[in-house]
Amino acid sequence: MDITSLLSHRTLSMSGSGIRRAFELGAKLKDPINLSIGQPDFPVARAVKDAAIRAINDDRNGYSLSRGIPELTTALATKLQTDVGWSFSGLGDSSADASDLLVTTGTSGALVLIAMAILNPGDEIIFPDPYFVLYPALSTITDAKAVYCDTYPDFRLTAARVEKLITPRTKAVLLNSPGNPGGVVMSERDCAELLDLCKRKNILLISDEIYDEFTYSESRTQRAARSDADKSLKCPSPCRLPGAAAHTLLIRGFGKTYGNTGWRLGYAAGPRKLIEQMIKLQQFSFVCAPTPLQWGVLEAIHADASLQVADYQKRRDLVVSALSTVTDLATPGGAFYAFPKIPDKLGMTGSQFLEAAIAKNVILVNGGTFSQRDTHFRLSYAVPQHKLEAGLEVLTNLLSGR
């Protein structure tokens, strides 16, 4: 059989993930310094694991409602009512068909569902360059058009940069803050101007906030919508601004904040008509998020991740201190990545720099994996400090031309 002739153009037009390529290269090394993995290196909290184990042992292993178990959707609605100030309905009623909130199979599942819900062939979706690797694929799987917004050198998706890319076919703008691969956090003004632009143009603003809790102290500048209930400062989000509920889709998750990336759990909230279509699509695709693990993350909602985030802020400071002396580096305000530029004097692409690092037993991801350029590289500092320090010594030497 000629299998190639059966494959869709969607499949053939996609290349394999550069992140997975880094994994494969690392498998060939002995005890490598692996700075490529976008996964927290702390364990899932005992209470969260125990809640999932109890659910399994209590035989809560069947399908849940496609929108999620009522206990979890209700708890998430309560959290968001305080945080972004939105009102929710129909969440705790297992017989209700409508909802404003949906539990998904990771934030990636939410992104795939919203792309399928709004994009027709030829429609356009704008997102930042550099970008999370899934973003261009959202257009590929829907026969839509990816519109890359150049955000170099500061990696900020500003309204001024976006507006000149809007056409009559633009359906959505996709914001990721804190961002992957740069870790850059948008300011409150950035968020307000981008939301205002999308409202004026009748474009959906999708706010991918998978790293919202993973924001460092100096970047937490916006208060919760109901600050009387939560006095802490938050990562700036367009979803807390007036009128946001009717114009934005909020996507968040559990994997990065609580270290359970393999559980594949996220959630989306937004206009009911959008969420209803996403639920319908979930019924015919993912069906539902893993049921016993939904019971586990119900416990995670109340967990305190501040100690882990503070520890990662120290690692961020270590990275900035080491690399900013030898190359250009936009200081990460959140997540656990840095996206340094490869100095022009080296005359190397990101792929070539990756090979040079691997020769020194250090694994990175080249910038071309996340961008139409290959001038940078991404490192993850979600590794033990002794590994990070050893890797930074190698990278400092390479970037200095030594």
Last residue of one domain, picked from the residues 300, 317, 338? 300
Average pLDDT, the chain: 92
CA 253/CA 231 separation, integer angstroms: 22
Residue 232 sits in a domain of what CATH number?
3.40.640.10
The reply to whether 154 and 172 lie within a common domain is: yes
**Tokens 């139409």 found at:** 372
The reply to whether 316 and 332 lie within a common domain is: yes
Last residue of one domain, picked from the residues 300, 323, 348? 300
What percentage of the chain carries pLDDT values higher than 90?
79
With 0-12 / 13-18 / 19 or more C-beta atoms within 10 angstroms meaning exposed / middle / buried, residue 402 is exposed
The reply to whether 316 and 257 lie within a common domain is: no
**pLDDT tens digits, 96-134:** 444 689 999 999 999 999 999 999 999 999 999 999 999
Question: Looking at residue 327, what is its pLDDT?
Answer: 96
Which range among 24-33, 106-115, 286-295, 363-372 shows the weakest confidence by mean pLDDT? 24-33
The number of folded domains in the chain is 2
**pLDDT tens digits, 72-82:** 999 999 999 99
Residue 93 has pLDDT above 70, yes or no: no
CA 231/CA 224 separation, integer angstroms: 7
**What range does the domain containing 172 cover?**
46-300
385-399 vs 306-323: helix crossing angle, rounded to 10: 20
pLDDT band per the 50, 70, 90 thresholds, residue 91: low
Tokens standing for residue 94: 């297992």
Do residues 103 and 80 lie in contact, with contact meaning Cβ atoms separated by under 8 Å?
Answer: no
The reply to whether 117 and 214 lie within a common domain is: yes
**pLDDT tens digits, 212-262:** 999 999 999 999 988 787 788 999 999 999 999 999 999 999 998 888 898
Q: Where are the alpha helices (DSSP H) in 304-364?
A: 306-323, 350-359
Residue 318 has pLDDT above 80, yes or no: yes
The reply to whether 310 and 246 lie within a common domain is: no
- Which has the closest alpha carbon to 275: 101, 95, 92, 62? 101
CA 160/CA 173 separation, integer angstroms: 13
The reply to whether 324 and 393 lie within a common domain is: yes
Per-residue CA distances from 103 to 117, 204, 268, 295 (Å): 16, 20, 7, 12
Question: Looking at residue 227, what is its pLDDT?
Answer: 79
Please report, in angstroms and rounded to a whole number, the separation of the first and last CA atoms in the chain. Answer: 53
Residue 338 sits in a domain of what CATH number?
3.90.1150.10
**pLDDT tens digits, 162-200:** 999 999 999 999 999 999 999 999 999 999 999 999 999
Q: Compute the CA torsion angle 5, 112, 284, 65 (nearest 10 deg).
A: 160
The reply to whether 27 and 53 lie within a common domain is: no
Question: Looking at residue 92, what is its pLDDT?
Answer: 55
The reply to whether 110 and 166 lie within a common domain is: yes
Strands 377-380 and 365-366: antiparallel
State residue 369 phi and psi, 5-degree precision.
-65, -30
CA 80/CA 225 separation, integer angstroms: 9
The reply to whether 280 and 212 lie within a common domain is: yes
CA 86/CA 242 separation, integer angstroms: 10
The reply to whether 20 and 67 lie within a common domain is: no
CB count, 10 Å around CB of 346?
A: 15
Q: What pTM, to 2 d.p., does this model score?
A: 0.94
The reply to whether 394 and 371 lie within a common domain is: yes
Do residues 349 and 366 lie in contact, with contact meaning Cβ atoms separated by under 8 Å?
Answer: yes
CA 388/CA 386 separation, integer angstroms: 5
With 0-12 / 13-18 / 19 or more C-beta atoms within 10 angstroms meaning exposed / middle / buried, residue 288 is buried
The reply to whether 181 and 282 lie within a common domain is: yes
Last residue of one domain, picked from the residues 271, 300, 329? 300
State residue 269 phi and psi, 5-degree precision.
-140, 145
